[in-house]
Structure 1
Amino acid sequence: MAKLDIFPLLEQQGKTKYWLYKQLGMSYQNFNKMVNNETTSIRYENIEAICQLLNCTPNDIIKLDM
């Protein structure tokens, strides 16, 4: 299963979960479900926004759990 794994990248860049939440402008409930992998889908626009904010690629934030 593919999972969002942004916490290591946030830590490396000295940024917080709260900072990312404010930058994305999502509701906190939806944001929290997304970053804690409690949802079954993520919009492409959210992946793109996260990658732009963290200067990364989707490969850096999506991990396969095998």
Structure 2
Amino acid sequence: MPEEERHAIRIHLDRLLAERGMTLTELSAQVGITVVNLSVLKNDRAKAIRFSTLSRICEVLHCQPGDLITHDPGDPAPGDRAS
């Protein structure tokens, strides 16, 4: 099995949800994607995100993409650390 590609993109969905007092289930209903898919995104396990999904999340959370996604090359995702 090929090794997973490393990345330094961080998703701050948990912080934004907490700041807005919203649950993942509520966001799922308003955005129109499953809780499972949002959970994958929230837990830094997503490989990609559609611009339409990103746009809808930003609309619902009243935020900008940069509030949700950051690039931090000095801090690999938990699953990306070399053994």
Q: Provide TM-score, normalisation by structure 1.
A: 0.83
Structure 2 SS opposite 1:47? helix
Structure with more of its chain in helix, by fraction? 1
Q: Structure 2 counterpart of 1:54, which letter?
A: L
1:25 paired with 2:26, answer no
1:40 paired with 2:47, answer yes
Structure 2 SS opposite 1:18? helix
Paired residue total: 66
> Is the Cα–Cα contact under 8 Å of residues 24 and 38 in structure 2 kept in the other structure?
no
Q: Provide TM-score, normalisation by structure 2.
A: 0.69
Change in CA separation of 1:60 and 1:25 when aligned onto 2, cut-off 3 Å: same
Which of structure 1's runs of 4+ aligned residues deviate more than 6 A? none
Distance (whole Å) between structure 1 residues aligned to residue 36 and residue 62 of structure 2: 24
- When the two chains are superposed, the root-mean-square deviation of aligned CA atoms in Å is 1.4
For structure 1, which runs of at least 5 residues remain unmatched after alignment? none
For structure 2, which runs of at least 5 residues remain unmatched after alignment? 1-7, 75-83
TM superposition shift of 1:28:
3.4
